[in-house]
Amino acid sequence: MEINVVRRSPALIVIAAAFAYVIASALRDQIPVESNASMLVRSLDVSLLYVVILLPGVIVGWLLRRHVLVYGFLAGILGDTMRQAITAWLQWATLDAAPGGAALGPDLWSVVTLMVTAIPAGVIGAAGGGVGYVLATGSKVTSVR
């Protein structure tokens, strides 16, 4: 089976995959799941969470043919960091706009914390890169190039 590899910019694909993660995560957050919901509803919610976290890696693995694990990891970290940064910025803006609100803003520690807490999303993104590669090529991931 011949694979037609087209030259694509890995950086643009990683950024696009990260934005897809942010959008899918925001859409998932709009689905209301109560704490007293049935076990089936909560299971579907958690399943959807894993699909959303795998999404950037799958996109990268589908569109790129080399270094899919590394690019999937980077897309996962970038996507989750962007999601957390947007959420934190909205909270900071709300506090600043409130009467008597303290002027809060991001500092270096906040940025480092966002990136460290995004590592699990990066690991799952790397797994998604392998899944996307397998789905696109129909072959196994035998080595990392």
- Tell me how crowded residue 64 is: count the other CB atoms within 10 A of its CB: 24
> Token digits for 68?
């899919």
Kindly state whether residue 1 falls inside one of the protein's structural domains: no
| Residues 6+ positions from 24 with CB-CB distance below 8 Å | 52, 55
Range of the domain at 68: 10-137
Residue 58 lies in a domain: yes
Cα of 102 vs its chain's centroid, Å: 31
Q: What's the pTM value of the predicted model, to 2 decimals?
A: 0.79
Most confident of 4-13, 31-40, 58-67, 109-118: 58-67
Residue 2 lies in a domain: no
Question: In the structure, what pLDDT confidence band is assigned to residue 142 with cuts at 50, 70 and 90?
Answer: low
Domain membership flag for residue 5: no
Number of domains in the chain: 1
pLDDT at 1: 47
- Residue 128 tokens read as 């998604």
Residue 52 confidence (pLDDT) above 50: yes
Q: Enumerate long-range contacts of 83-89, CB under 8 Å, 24 or more apart.
A: 83/21, 83/22, 83/25, 83/26, 84/114, 84/117, 84/118, 85/111, 85/114, 86/22, 88/114
Within the chain, what is the greatest distance between any pair of CA atoms? Answer: 66
Position 3 scores a pLDDT of 54
Please indicate, yes or no, if residue 84 is contained in any of the structural domains. Answer: yes
CB neighbours (10 Å) of residue 66? 11
Residue 96 within a domain: yes
Place of tokens 């089936």: 40
The reply to whether 94 falls in a domain is yes
Nearest to 62 by CA among 140, 137, 141: 137
Q: Indicate the pLDDT class of residue 100, thresholds 50, 70 and 90.
A: low
CA distances from 61 to 43, 48, 93 (A): 26, 19, 36
In a domain? residue 89: yes
For 35, which DSSP code? Answer: T
